[in-house]
Amino acid sequence: MRAPTPPAEGTNKQKVRSAEVGTDILKALAELSPSTSLSRLADHVQMPASKVHRYLQALIASGFAEQNPATNHYGLGREALRVGLAALGSMDVLKLAAMPLSELRDALNETCFLAVWGNRGATVVQIETAVRAVTVVTQVGSVLPVLSSSTGLVFGAYLPERECLDLIEEEIAEKGHPRIDEVQATFAQIRENGLHHVHGLLLPGVDALSAPIFDALGRIVAVLTVVGPTSMFHADAHGPAARQLLATSKAISWRMGYED
């Protein structure tokens, strides 16, 4: 019996190129969602409309695209939605943030930690401590206040109000300040700056910088924070540490599927 003839190298290259083109068209459908005309899609991917149409027919047959019979416009199909949801489900912020968190600690030589929102507020879930004699220790599992920590304030600025209003009101009632309008003004400023810094707010002599991490739907899923002693760490909202923190939080958000 004759051994099967291996596929020609040129055939394999054509298959790879076809897969690349199909992927480009799928990405374009996502970017032009919920629907788009053939001409607009062809212009977006810079391909002849006839070529795009051929690929669309294959995508429709496999369920990754669909055509509205009333408008003749094209959009993503059920299979694309299923794959997208599976990808979203696999986005684990703890896993994706582990290496960037360590790299941020190495770059700044300050304690860095990741917090997520739990049933009692901002909860520390990962820590990378500074590698030097003077460090700030934050415990995994610690729950930070909303109004007297940079981490909590960043969560408060981006979470839906219903998720943190009770905790905010509890803290205001306990301390007698600030007023709710002052809190809202602080939240607005945080959203404008994209991060927040505090000087000795939670602990005297300790500065902190915090920035949000978002998922593909634009929801805040975690907060990245750098803390250090005031004598050695400068929590300046426009300083080099803030720029490094923002770059890291944006990189993790991008890995989570967020488009700024």
Q: What is the CATH number of the domain that holds 64?
A: 1.10.10.10
Beta bridge partners of 112: 128, 226
- Residue 113: left if φ>0, alpha if ψ -120 to 50, beta else—which one? beta
Task: List the one residue out of 228, 232, 260 whose CA is nearest residue 246.
Answer: 260
Whether cis (ω within 30° of 0) applies to the bond prior to 145 is no
Q: Which is higher by pLDDT, 65 or 230?
A: 65
Together in a domain, 132 and 175: yes
Percentage of the chain modeled with pLDDT above 70: 87
Together in a domain, 126 and 146: yes
List, for residues 9-47, the tens digit of each pLDDT value: 556 677 677 888 888 998 898 888 788 999 999 999 999
Helix (H) or strand (E) holding 221: strand 220-229
Highest mean pLDDT among 190-204, 223-237, 239-253: 239-253
| Euclidean distance between CA atoms 32 and 71, whole angstroms | 15
Task: List the one residue out of 218, 220, 254, 222 whose CA is nearest residue 124.
Answer: 222
- Residue 54: inside a domain: yes
Together in a domain, 179 and 165: yes
Together in a domain, 159 and 172: yes
Beta bridge partners of 196: 210
Q: Quote the radius of gyration of the chain (alpha carbons, Å).
A: 24
Task: List the one residue out of 103, 95, 134, 116 whose CA is nearest residue 210.
Answer: 116
Together in a domain, 102 and 155: yes
List, for residues 122-169, the tens digit of each pLDDT value: 989 899 988 775 666 678 888 898 998 999 999 999 999 888 888 888
- Residue 2: inside a domain: no
Together in a domain, 84 and 138: no
Whether cis (ω within 30° of 0) applies to the bond prior to 48 is no
Together in a domain, 99 and 219: yes
**Domain containing residue 241: CATH number:** 3.30.450.40
User: What residue numbers bound the domain in which 44 lies?
Assistant: 9-89
* pLDDT value of position 131: 79
* pLDDT value of position 133: 59
Q: What is the DSSP letter of 60?
A: H
The model's pTM is 0.66
| Euclidean distance between CA atoms 243 and 229, whole angstroms | 19
- Angle at Cα 181 formed by Cα 223 and Cα 168, nearest 5°? 50
